[in-house]
Amino acid sequence: AQSVAQPEDQVNVAEGNPLTVKCTYSVSGNPYLFWYVQYPNRGLQFLLKYITGDNLVKGSYGFEAEFNKSQTSFHLKKPSALVSDSALYFCAVRDMYNREGSQGNLIFGKGTKLSVKP
Amino acid sequence: DGGITQSPKYLFRKEGQNVTLSCEQNLNHDAMYWYRQDPGQGLRLIYYSQIVNDFQKGDIAEGYSVSREKKESFPLTVTSAQKNPTAFYLCASRPGPQGGEQFFGPGTRLTVL
């Protein structure tokens, strides 16, 4: 079965330190992977995606993610965390089964709450 | 959130009532989606529509209904058959190509009194 796992419910980081939010996936074939951020009582904002090419993907707000095929991981990273980065982060993978017109559907992880302290 | 609007932002419903959540997009996207978000459970897909006048059930469609009469509109009705409707509802859209990301609206928080 296709799935996305975010093993940490919460990540705590001091401002200025590097941050990593972990994501692993299970799909057949080559995955399309996405990261989104959600601030309280708001919709999800797209950060970055990996479809093909360079394993290191750069996105919005200084975030980047590294695709690792052998470890089936797509961890989100930022060299220096800001207090304003505190939010809920979701990893997602494209549904590859293509059942009943599901092309383009996304399967989401349960989210990781990032807390950045001053 | 730009380009996708959801209304109302907050909605209160008495048990036994049907309510309709609005979702409109001006991005000319073909596909539209409805998700439900509960604390600690991530996003769960309710219904999706790849083109006008066509839609499919997602993972948790029971107690919900949708229509797609216009490309820009995808309203969701929460019926009285939905036993636990209190949640945050998110609408999203995606342009035609299959590999693209989805764009989300600001959400509607539904509370059953």
pLDDT tens-digit map of A27-84: 888 899 999 999 998 999 999 999 988 999 999 999 999 999 999 999 999 999 999 9
Q: Work out the angle at residue B95's Cα, subtended by the Cα atoms of residues A39 and A61, and round it to the nearest 5 degrees.
A: 35
Q: What is the largest CA-CA distance in chain A?
A: 48
- Alpha-carbon distance of B47 to A27, in angstroms, equals 22
Enumerate residues 22 to 51 of chain A having a beta carbon within 8 A of any beta carbon in chain B. Answer: 32, 34, 36, 41-46, 49, 51
What is the residue-level pLDDT of chain B in tens, covering all 113 positions? 459 999 999 999 998 899 999 999 999 999 999 999 998 788 999 999 998 999 999 999 999 999 999 999 999 999 988 889 999 999 999 987 666 899 999 999 999 98
The pLDDT of residue B97 = 61
- Classify burial at A60, counting beta carbons within 10 Å of its beta carbon; exposed 0-12, middle 13-18, buried 19 or more: exposed
Sort out which chain B residues have CB atoms less than 8 A from A44's CB and list them: 43, 90, 92, 104
Size of chain A, expressed as the number of residues it contains = 118
CB contact under 8 A, B43 and A90: yes
The pLDDT of residue A105 = 87
The pLDDT of residue B61 = 96
The pLDDT of residue B6 = 97
Chain A's closest residue to B49, CA to CA, is A101
Q: What is the mean pLDDT of residues A95-105?
A: 71
Q: Which tokens belong to B58? A: 């997602």
In total, the C-beta contacts within 8 angstroms joining chain A to chain B are 63
Got the DSSP string for B21-56?
Answer: EEEEE-S--SEEEEEEE-TTS-EEEEEEESSTT--E
- Give the model confidence (pLDDT) of A101-116 as tens digits: 667 789 999 999 999 9
The pLDDT of residue A101 = 65
